Amino acid sequence: MKLKVYADRLSQPVRAVIIFCEVNGIDYEEIKVDLANREHLTPEFAEINPMQQLPAIVHGSFKLFESHAILIYLASSFPGVADHWYPADVYKRSKIHSVLDWHHSNLRCGPITIVQNSILAPVFRSPLNPEAVAEGEKILSAALSKTESFWLDDNRPFLLGQNQPSIADLILVCDIMQVKLVGETDWNRLLGPYKKVQQWIENTRNATNPHFDELHKVLKELKEKLQN
């Protein structure tokens, strides 16, 4: 009963789930569902996830989608997953839920809006939209500001004053990494003001390497392809 992960590594939440599996030694089969070729919109994939989104998992007869729900399920169901990923302590756990919920309406919107209206527009056959990109940058900056001043307030390496990463760190950092697609100059411009955020991204990367770098190779490759 091997876990199946329906994935396109171009997707930020997919990367978070795969990195989590790799770091925690969870045995899985990665099944590619190509977003650019609209494979997620096929009737076959609708059988796996009627919402037709990635990531999705199938574990025996159990199907699940939405990356936060998947990470919670994996952390709760697989032996050997260290407590810091999704603590049993109800206070710590609740704070993680709080970040993950906040993320939906705040940080998550920024990188997607920027990237889908600029560099990824041709890939998804939509028009370039500089106004939308500008909006996305505003949303991202506001979210990074809040992350810097509130979620990373305690000068500890990870969110919520923790010394080790949780699923929240993985999800949020993978989202921010999407901005790498727009190139180093813009990445430095957008992330430049936020020193704690930059350090935290590095901390998360170090805590999950070599898997973090391995999973993010796809962004480098795609960027080079699109620029050539």
Give the binding site for another protein (CB under 8 A): 50-51, 62, 64-70, 72-73, 76-77, 90-91, 93-95, 97-98, 100-102, 104-105, 146, 149-150
Given the complex with another protein, which of 178 and 216 has the nearer CB atom?
178
Distance of closest approach, residue 52 Cβ to another protein, in angstroms: 10
Strand order in the sheet with 56-59: 28-32, 3-7, 56-59, 62-65
Given the complex with another protein, which of 107 and 222 has the nearer CB atom?
107
- Give the C-alpha distances (Å, rounded to integers) separating 152 from 6, 159, 171, 187, 207: 32, 5, 15, 20, 17
Distance of closest approach, residue 62 Cβ to another protein, in angstroms: 6
Distance of closest approach, residue 157 Cβ to another protein, in angstroms: 21
Given the complex with another protein, which of 46 and 134 has the nearer CB atom?
46
* Cβ count near 145 (within 10 Å): 13
Distance of closest approach, residue 42 Cβ to another protein, in angstroms: 17
Given the complex with another protein, which of 63 and 223 has the nearer CB atom?
63
**CA 177 to CA 110: how far, in whole Å?**
11
- Give the C-alpha distances (Å, rounded to integers) separating 95 from 30, 92, 101, 118: 30, 5, 10, 34
Burial of 174 (0-12, 13-18, 19+ CB in 10 A): buried
Q: In b/e form, how buried is each residue of 195-209, taking b as 16+ CB within 10 angstroms?
A: eebbebbebbbebbe
Distance of closest approach, residue 97 Cβ to another protein, in angstroms: 4
Given the complex with another protein, which of 80 and 210 has the nearer CB atom?
80
Both tokens assigned to 55: 């990531």
